[in-house]
């Protein structure tokens, strides 16, 4: 059975949920009903023009009453989220996702508190209800959708969105297929989509290491303690551009492709907090349709490059 929440103040049309990608709002007995789609993420949006609605319930109501939105993030994934060491307090958290967090709080009419955590703790803390939202370059996975409410996607890679292998340039000629990884030490970020893709696709290796952050994946490769890393291709290419002396290279011709529902970065909330995610989707609509998120991404790509991230 689909989870749902009634929002009588929002007028919507009846839409049958015939297939993935359809809008996920419907009308039941004259009341607006919001649901998850077949992939268990939310596509419907609340009208955010007047802030949190008067008939808000659940976590969205609690945010309004507290006057504060708490957002968990792992601030080591430039340009989406990173730390500027020259700044202090909440201002030190920079990146396109941090701009999104600030816009959500602004539209809610509340203060924002950004909470830095390790990546696996980001998801667990929101699942347990410790914080309101997770905004941390999150990809869709069925496991996450089963434990958290996920928003619609707000950032999509230009062209093909893919993951692959990162190695030291000196070893690049030795890798032409996944079978060539026999005897190699593989590394991926713990709890990431890349970890899952590696576990599903790489069957021969010496050791599969899992580290807390993407920065440690890059450090492990540069130091030689790992031989190949499973990475988001776009993020790895940005890192290489920003760190031209890193001596790393993406392996050509090896890609872990994804189904359509896996694409796009998403915001997460505690399971069943669909009204909160509907509000978030309203903000996502605003920043995607205006092109602001894309502008933020480009701005903070340059910002991170200046910091050598």
279 found inside a domain: yes
117 and 215 fall within a common domain: no
Contact 149, 270 (CB under 8 A): yes
140 and 271 fall within a common domain: yes
The total number of structural domains in the chain stands at 2
Q: Give the number of residues written for the chain.
A: 309
133 found inside a domain: yes
What is the pLDDT, as a whole number, of residue 2?
Answer: 36
37 found inside a domain: no
Q: Measure the CA–CA gap between 263 and 128, rounded to whole angstroms.
A: 25
285 and 203 fall within a common domain: no
Per run of 10 residues, the mean pLDDT along the chain (length 309 residues) is 34 30 40 77 94 95 98 95 97 98 98 95 96 95 93 85 91 95 95 88 94 92 96 90 93 84 91 96 97 96 92
What is the pLDDT, as a whole number, of residue 130?
Answer: 98
57 and 99 fall within a common domain: yes
What is the pLDDT, as a whole number, of residue 179?
Answer: 95
179 and 274 fall within a common domain: no
121 and 195 fall within a common domain: no
53 and 106 fall within a common domain: yes
28 found inside a domain: no
Final residue belonging to a domain, choices 216, 235, 257: 257
146 and 81 fall within a common domain: yes
115 and 176 fall within a common domain: no
Q: What is the CATH number of the domain that holds 197?
A: 3.40.190.10
Q: Measure the CA–CA gap between 278 and 133, rounded to whole angstroms.
A: 13
What is the pLDDT, as a whole number, of residue 262?
Answer: 79
Model pTM greater than 0.75? yes
147 and 68 fall within a common domain: yes
55 and 152 fall within a common domain: yes
Q: Measure the CA–CA gap between 277 and 268, rounded to whole angstroms.
A: 8
Contact 133, 104 (CB under 8 A): yes
58 and 76 fall within a common domain: yes
112: domain range?
49-156+261-307
Q: Which residue bears the tokens 């929440």?
A: 5
Q: Enumerate the β-bridge partners of residue 165.
A: 230
């Amino acid at each position: 059975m689909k989870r749902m929440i009634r929002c009588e103040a929002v007028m919507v049309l009846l839409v049958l949920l015939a297939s993935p990608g359809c809008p996920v709002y419907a009308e039941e007995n004259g009341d607006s009903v919001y649901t998850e789609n077949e992939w268990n993420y939310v596509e419907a949006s609340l009208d955010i023009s007047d802030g949190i609605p008067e008939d808000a319930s659940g976590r969205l109501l609690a945010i309004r009453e507290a006057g504060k939105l708490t957002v968990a993030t792992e601030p080591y994934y430039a340009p989406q989220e990173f730390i500027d060491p020259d700044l202090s307090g909440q201002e030190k958290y920079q990146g396109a996702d941090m701009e999104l967090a600030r816009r959500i709080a602004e539209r809610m009419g509340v203060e924002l508190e950004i909470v830095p955590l390790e990546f696996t703790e980001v998801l667990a803390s929101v699942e347990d209800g410790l914080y309101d939202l997770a905004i941390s370059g999150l990809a869709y996975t069925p496991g996450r959708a089963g434990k958290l409410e996920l928003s619609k996607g707000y950032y999509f890679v230009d062209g093909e969105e893919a993951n692959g292998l990162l190695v030291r340039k000196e070893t690049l000629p030795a890798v032409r297929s996944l079978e060539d990884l026999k005897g190699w030490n593989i590394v991926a970020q713990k709890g990431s989509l890349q970890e899952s893709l590696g576990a599903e696709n790489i069957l021969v290796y010496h050791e599969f290491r899992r580290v807390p952050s993407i920065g440690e994946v890059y450090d492990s490769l540069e130091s030689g303690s790992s031989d190949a890393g499973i990475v988001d291709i776009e993020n790895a290419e940005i890192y290489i551009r920003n760190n031209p002396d890193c001596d790393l290279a993406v392996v050509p011709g090896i890609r872990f492709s994804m189904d359509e529902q896996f694409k796009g970065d998403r915001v997460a909330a505690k399971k069943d907090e669909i009204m909160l995610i509907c509000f978030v989707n309203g903000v996502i609509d605003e920043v995607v349709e205006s092109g602001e998120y894309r502008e933020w991404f480009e701005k903070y790509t340059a910002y991170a490059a200046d910091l050598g991230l």
